Amino acid sequence: MTDSSRAVSRLSRIILPRQGEPLDVRKLYIEESETNNRRAHPLTRTSLEIGEESEVSFATYFNAFPASYWRRWSTVESVVLHLELTGSGRVDVYRSKATGARIAVDGKPFTSVDDKPAVIEFEVGLQPFEDGGWIWFDITTDTAVTLHGGGWYAPTEAPGRADIAVGIPTFNRPDDCVNALLALTSDPEVDKVISAVIVPDQGTRKVRDHPGFAEAAAGLGERLSIHNQPNLGGSGGYSRVMYEALKNTGCEQILFMDDDIRIEPDSILRALALNRFAKTPTLVGGHMLNLQEPSHLHIMGEVVDSSVFMWTNAPHTEYDHNFATDSLAESPDLHRRIDVDFNGWWMCMIPRAVAEEIGQPVPSFIKWDDAEYGLRAGEHGYPTVTLPGAAIWHMAWSDKDDAIDWQAYFHLRNRLMVAALHWDGNIAGLIRSHLKATLKHLACLEYSTVAVQNKALDDFMAGPEHIFSILESALPDIHALRKNYPDAVVLPAASELPAPSQRRKPMRPPVQPLSIGYRLARGILHNLKGTEPEHHRRPQLNVPTQDARWFLLCTQDGVTVTTADGRGVVYRQRDRDKMFSLLRESLRRQYQLARRFDALRRTYRRALPTLASKQQWETVLLPDSAKSA
């Protein structure tokens, strides 16, 4: 930077796609005019070669500046765009309103001399961004132009200290974990702000035994620590990360990351920048992009629906936005600022001060631990921000059966636990929601799902001490329970069974009340009848996972359904006696829950300081030390 530069503290770099990225992924970084004679060529992750008489826009997910978030959550009052360019052309800066409307801000021509990059800067105030809006720039070239580097900067020094302890719990994913460790040191700017990397290894296939571990560990040196422990789930892994970070490091920021992600390294620096400039200690989370469809954004932000206490997309957001077909400039809702209740722990930066004050995660094993922590932090006055432009790639939930497999137990049990801890709403809404889901599962012949959810109700009503006591044993118990149900047994392929006896006809989802009622009546009448034994030997239909809906399955006795990942099938078989038994047991538990929930609220809230205490977690993380004490 020159002495006259207003760019002092970098908030985000201008970054380019990796070599070999498909065209749809390029649109996360740059938008190119269809009239360009040739494609722009990234020379490095931070430099770009643009042909003559071309136009390239940086109104993209990774390179536009999310001004409204910085306006709302930080002390920054203006932002400086700093670019270094060779060649001749023009830079134009634009901003958007919360409606998505584009407004021209400023523009300058540039011409470099003797191959020395021309330095272009624009300072833009953040006052107009109360409710939404981004800032971006376009480059129009006369000659061939090279962008040697650029970024968005604050005109003041960043407060505080950059000192991150990264935590990556892992379970039988040594390949993914090694790749994540390598990614942390692949970018020198990221590498220098990381003071510790904490890896709780909870699996039987140890990351230390991976052939690439030595290389990954060498880059981190003494900063890397591996902690072998039983499988305590995500909450046990992240609790170990927080415990070690607070006890054994001087970090200012604790960064939770999943092991099975692909990292965009600058995202770490962007989260760090907002962490340091935040008006108050703030949890800063990143977005999740789809690992298999990498131009797809999972969601702009999530909240908890207070009517039924269930996580959902925040207002004015949609799941699975595809930037390859709908650019940032063409998507008005993406220009609103989205406020959230929590952020997923695929990437979430927690200030040390917050962790020290509000404590450890609750012992949920998996599911709802991130939501609970965000809600708890909010109750203490510490907001969560899901920051656009900070993101990782992760397997999409649509490729998993987690709503109906063993994870259904943790979904329900922990939803109830977090509701008891942080929700003052009427339990009737939650129970109606669960009853509807139960009937749907039974209609879809998902008996194992209802069985594990009945156990979830039992374990929740047994109280908070019981929840901690089964942290390690709940999963094996659930696996054992599911073995009693055919819909939980995955077969390699439908061809393992006889060919289906029926040919499936296209069936449209019922949308009118009359058609819904007709399908429902047919399903009820069918389920009152006995089962044809033949259909448990030979399926009636082979059903793709996306077609396995209640209005089709409720009139069948035996069907195969493909798993969400496409790797196998399950043979769902109707059993009238088992269905009514599961329904009776569910209704009985729901009645008990309705009667006891207010008392359970009081019990769980009294227990929260213990559930989230370092001392209680030591009894499972460090059992030998706890016994000797």
- Whether 175 and 147 map to the same domain: the answer is no
Number of domains in the chain: 3
Q: For position 1, what pLDDT does the model report?
A: 64
Do residue 143 and residue 188 come from a single domain?
Answer: no
Q: What is the pLDDT of residues 94-151, one digit of tens each?
A: 999 999 999 999 999 999 998 899 999 999 999 999 999 999 999 999 999 999 999 9
One domain for residues 246 and 386: yes
Residue-level pLDDT at 115: 84
User: Which residues form the domain of 345?
Assistant: 164-301+340-399
Verify that 240 and 202 share a domain, yes or no.
yes
Average pLDDT, the chain: 95
Q: What's the mean pLDDT in 450-458? A: 98
pLDDT value of position 153? 99
Polymer length of the chain = 629
Token pair 């499972």: residue: 620
Residues 368, 417: Cα–Cα separation, whole Å: 9
Q: 């922590």: which residue's tokens?
A: 373
Last residue of a domain, one of 154, 175, 192: 154
Which one of the listed residues 370, 405, 459, 557 is annotated catalytic?
370
Residue 315, in any domain of the structure: no
**Domain edge (last residue) among 123, 154, 185:** 154
Do 125 and 268 sit in the same domain of this protein? no
| Judgement on whether residues 487 and 449 belong to the same structural domain of the protein | yes
- Give the domain CATH number at 176: 3.90.550.60
Say whether pTM exceeds 0.85: yes
Share of residues in the chain with pLDDT > 90 (%): 92
| 334 lies in some domain | no
**pLDDT over 60 (residue 286):** yes
In a domain, 384, yes or no: yes
Any idea what the CATH number is for the domain that residue 31 is in?
2.60.120
Q: Is the pLDDT of residue 2 over 90?
A: no
In the chain, the percentage of residues whose pLDDT exceeds 70 is 98
Q: Are residues 485 and 422 in the same domain?
A: yes
- Quick check: is 586 in a domain? no
pLDDT tier for residue 625 given thresholds of 50, 70 and 90: low
Min mean pLDDT across 6-20, 247-261, 614-628 is at 614-628
Q: What count of other Cβ atoms lies within 10 Å of the Cβ of residue 46?
A: 18
Q: Pick the closest to residue 183 from 211, 218, 222, 216 (CA basis).
A: 216
393 and 488 share one domain = no
145 and 273 in a single domain? The answer is no
Same domain, yes or no: 150 and 179 = no
SS (H, E, C) 34-64: CCCCCCCEEEECCEEEECCCCEEECCCCCCC
Q: How many Cβ atoms sit within 10 Å of the Cβ of residue 545?
A: 16
The yes-or-no answer on residue 138 being catalytic is no
For the stretch 176-191, pLDDT in tens is 999 999 999 999 999 9
- Whether 607 is in a domain gets the answer no
- Do 91 and 175 belong to one domain? no
Instruction: Please indicate, yes or no, if residue 238 is contained in any of the structural domains.
Output: yes
Neighbours of 530 (CB within 10 A): 10
**At CA 533, angle to CA 531 and CA 538, rounded to 5?**
115
Residues 419 and 565 both lie in one domain? yes
Q: What is the pLDDT of residue 628?
A: 46
pLDDT at site 141: 98
* Residue 498 falls inside a structural domain: yes
Q: State yes or no: pLDDT of 629 exceeds 50.
A: no
Q: Is residue 610 part of a domain?
A: no
Q: What is the rounded average pLDDT of the residues 467-473?
A: 95
